[in-house]
Structure 1
Amino acid sequence: MSAYAWMDEALCAQTDPDAFHADGSGHGYRAAASICGACPVRKECEAFADRLEGTLSHRDRHGMWGGRVPRRRSARAAATAKQQRDALILRLAARGGMSPEEIAATAGCEVRTVHRVTAAHRDSHGTAA
């Protein structure tokens, strides 16, 4: 079975593709939202868009995928990236042996982010991070 077999069941494949691209009036996604809302493969479509677009900004995303407009998909991707970064910071801090500067360099963030994440974890869990 193909990794794209789910697309055969996509309701968007049975309608006008232009419905999934905004017309600039701000109301261009109404028809697409209705179609996506009833689609049996919406989750697969969302996951596909996530893999396809990665960390692109909303300006570089186009059309509705999985019932989400570009700005919503971008915000969701940013939140996921932040969660993954914070989880990495906490794993490295818990392992010990690395300075906040080394953790920041590994996680690709500022030292103050390391301090903020570990402090928030400590405050919410009452543990040393």
Structure 2
Amino acid sequence: MSDQHWRQQAACAGMDPRAFFSIGHHARAQVNAARRVCATCPVRQQCADFAIGVGEANGVWGGMSQKQLRERRRRFTSRAKTSTRAAA
């Protein structure tokens, strides 16, 4: 599935992207609202994989909060380093 194709299939297609980037006093409510949209998304996994692949550090992607993205990216990076060492 091409990069543009999965984005067109996303539950958030056409929504204001700011809805997925929380700020201020209502950040938790914004994150929860964004995650509810993601929960209905047919391309949630592609979105998460994209965000991790490009090193996205902000916003809700694939239903994951910024903290969850960082944790998953660390695991992904750690696995990649282990795979590289094993291949050498």
Q: Give the TM-score category using the shorter length.
A: 0.7 to 0.9
Please say which of residues 70-79 and 30-39 is displaced more in the overlay: 70-79
What is the deviation of 1:87?
A: 4.0
Amino acid at match of 2:6: W
**Structure showing greater Rg:** 1
Q: Distance in 2 between matches of 1:84 and 1:44?
A: 19
Residue 12 of structure 2 is aligned to residue 16 of structure 1 = no
- C-alpha distance in 1, partners of 2:76/2:2? 27
Corresponding pairs, count: 86
TM-score normalized by the length of structure 1 = 0.57
- Give the counterpart of 2:32 among 24, 30, 53: 30
Query: 1:84 Cα deviation (Å)?
Result: 2.9
Instruction: State TM-score, norm by structure 2.
Output: 0.78
CA contact (8 A) 2:52 2:72 kept: no
Query: What's the CA shift string for 1:10-30, capped at 9, x where partnerless?
Result: 111232322211123341211
Secondary structure (helix, strand or coil) at the match of 2:50 reads: helix
Alignment RMSD (CA, Å):
2.3
Q: Aligned residue for 2:53?
A: 51
Report the AA paired with residue 7 of structure 1. Answer: R
Identity of aligned residues (%): 30
User: What residue in structure 2 maps to residue 79 of structure 1?
Assistant: 75
Question: 1 CA distance for matches of 2:16 and 2:67?
Answer: 22
Give 5+ residue unaligned stretches, structure 2. none
Secondary structure in 2 matching 1:71: helix
The one of the two structures with greater contact order (alpha-carbon pairs below 8 A, sep at least 6) is: 2
Q: Distance in 2 between matches of 1:73 and 1:32?
A: 14
